[in-house]
A = this chain, B = another copy of it.
């Protein structure tokens, strides 16, 4: 069986968690969130964490749970709405927040994972985001320098993995999971199902096994929906 597979989230994180580390997490809202791994981080009791993650969870989901237990010192995120405890800690000055445009955030993770310590972008030029950043002109247009992010640990939620760690995601649950995975010095992935090597189409691997050091099967999942919007069959 797979050498990368661990029996549960706590085992998979053994030796990787320390106070004050930088953790990159996949997920967009509650979609594609590495919930088993985040729960295990909470149970470990490590504190002073910095999370680079598009969102900060909602009140009792995802990183939101770690905010309640005050294990998070800083968030690097693009959007942190829908979270009362976050709001309280932020306004009380207990939580540091670095707002980063969503595309810049994704690219910073991808860059860190790709050995690129800095890149130039138009995004945020002339706004608060540009403050303190180097501005450079290319072909008569200004760009700001953004830094690649390398995280101590990446937490990722995927759909399926083969025994060797080749990973595929499902629909929009892919989101930040790929850039997060690549920027981690160590990447731990929770999946819904492990399949034998040879079961996945080699042309359709979203995250090749080289990026995956440890895995767990997190199933069964009771996936939550933030905003349930539907149309009625009669209207169709």
Contacts and interface: CB of A to CB of B under 8 A. Distances in A.
A171 B201 CA distance: 10
Contact of A117 (B107, B143, B147, B168): B143
Contact of A120 (B116, B121, B168, B174): B116
A28 interface: no
**How many copies are assembled?**
2
Interface in A158-213: 168-171, 174, 201-204, 206
Contact of A114 (B107, B117, B136, B143): B107
A81 interface: no
Contacts of A107: 114, 116
A168 B204 CA distance: 9
A86 B4 CA distance: 48
Interface in A105-119: 107, 111, 114-119
Contacts of A120: 116-119
A227 interface: no
A172 B114 CA distance: 20
A110 to B, nearest CB: 9
A109 to B, nearest CB: 14
Contact of A203 (B118, B119, B121, B204): B204
